[in-house]
Chain A
């Protein structure tokens, strides 16, 4: 209840206006309020300004949530156009609609921009022959992660609000929190070392053999990684799960035997990639090499 009130208060406190400060240009205001100095034209259109010079102390209206929806639809449409190939006339029509959508954003006509972007997306993606595929994952606390893979967008609804999630996007929803905008889907990590089915000879430690170092390629947008290592010989044994920030995990020691491992990329907002394909390695003790020289002793 307290959390819900806090969220409601935060929503109520979301800025709808911004005051121009001394010496600040319209581009700087746009950068400060909207995170993008190119949005100066939007502020200009939204507030009916005829010049970029605005006196300090002037209060400017800021765009509402329609802007985020329009930008999300444009991003998805741009992605769909990029993936559509260059053979069809539909692609050219979609590109034209996309340009129009971007112009409408500049003019602060966000609903129209979203509609234009959606029509661009429909031209190149909705008619695609591929099936609609998506994944839904619910965590023990009820947090829901929706990932759209292909075909038509899926629609995520919560308390009367709706967000389209286009292929290549993911959206996390938690109970009592407002619907955010979809993010780009994280790709599963590509494992580097050790190679699949390799036998590692490691020194014996007090608790086993080690250290075991696992590495993979960094995933753009990943905040950290979840590494899962399981015994292939002792299936009843609990898996080891590590959370690391770098694209490498170090396990101080493991018992001799065969192990499978895989890695999942995690985003800052809770979104996560699919698991990487599993690899297997075998651990064996590093045998000391004894060289016995011949002797003349009899």
Chain B
């Protein structure tokens, strides 16, 4: 109900693409563009989890199976959590009070790469095929890389 109010406001603000894009995700039927650019899918959404689309200004309530695109942001409030399943198979569990961004990544030949920005809170990541997958997390203090290209330096 809350989301529909937001959608109406956005529609009145004459940004129909943003509204219809969210609509397709909430209904689990992403548009062709969203499907092609989807980086990940939200799973096991528990508690108050919000998503801010790259093209939008509002934090919308996250739902199970919602697709995430490059530059989308995900925020979990107190007591909330969610799983983010990336298209390359890597999985990130996001804890409460966290704020993350899905980074825009340039595809590298022969490499499934995932990039995240973690601004606050905690995430637990798992790569089931680190020989092929590459995963990086940018934070205000450092960059953390896992998977392929991990060599001792």
Contacts and interface: CB of A to CB of B under 8 A. Distances in A.
- Say whether A associates with B: yes
Q: Pick the most buried of B122, B130, B142, B153: most chain A CB atoms within 10 A of its CB.
A: B142
A154 B126 contact: no
A244 interface: no
Given A134-B144, A146-B144, A157-B145, A152 B139 contact: no
B124 A135 contact: yes
B144 A136 contact: yes
Contacts of B146: 132, 134, 152, 154-155
15 contacts: A131-B127, A131-B130, A133-B126, A139-B120, A142-B139, A146-B142, A152-B130, A152-B150, A153-B150, A155-B150, A155-B153, A157-B142, A157-B145, A174-B141, A235-B79
B58 interface: no
A175 B141 CA distance: 5
Contact of B150 (A136, A154, A179, A235): A154
Contact of A155 (B122, B125, B144): B144
Contacts of A136: 118, 122-123, 125, 137, 139, 144
A105 interface: no
Contacts of A143: 141
Contacts of B118: 136, 138
B28 interface: no
B143 A156 contact: yes
Contacts, number: 95
A131 B128 contact: yes
Q: Pick the most buried of B119, B123, B144: most chain A CB atoms within 10 A of its CB.
A: B144
Interface string A236-268: 000000000000000000000000000000000
B61 to A, nearest CB: 19
A143 B121 CA distance: 11
B125 A156 contact: no
Nearest to A115: B152
A151 interface: yes
Nearest to A165: B144
Given A154-B145, A156-B144, 11 more contacts: A132-B127, A134-B144, A135-B125, A136-B123, A136-B125, A146-B142, A152-B150, A154-B144, A156-B143, A158-B141, A235-B79
A132 B142 contact: no
A229 to B, nearest CB: 15
- Interface pairs A-B: 7 shortest CB-CB: A142-B140, A137-B122, A118-B152, A132-B130, A144-B141, A173-B142, A144-B139
Contacts of B121: 137-138
A136 B123 CA distance: 6
A179 B143 CA distance: 12
Nearest to B148: A152
A162 interface: yes
A124 interface: no
B152 A158 contact: no
B147 interface: yes
B139 A132 contact: no
A88 B117 CA distance: 40
B14 to A, nearest CB: 37
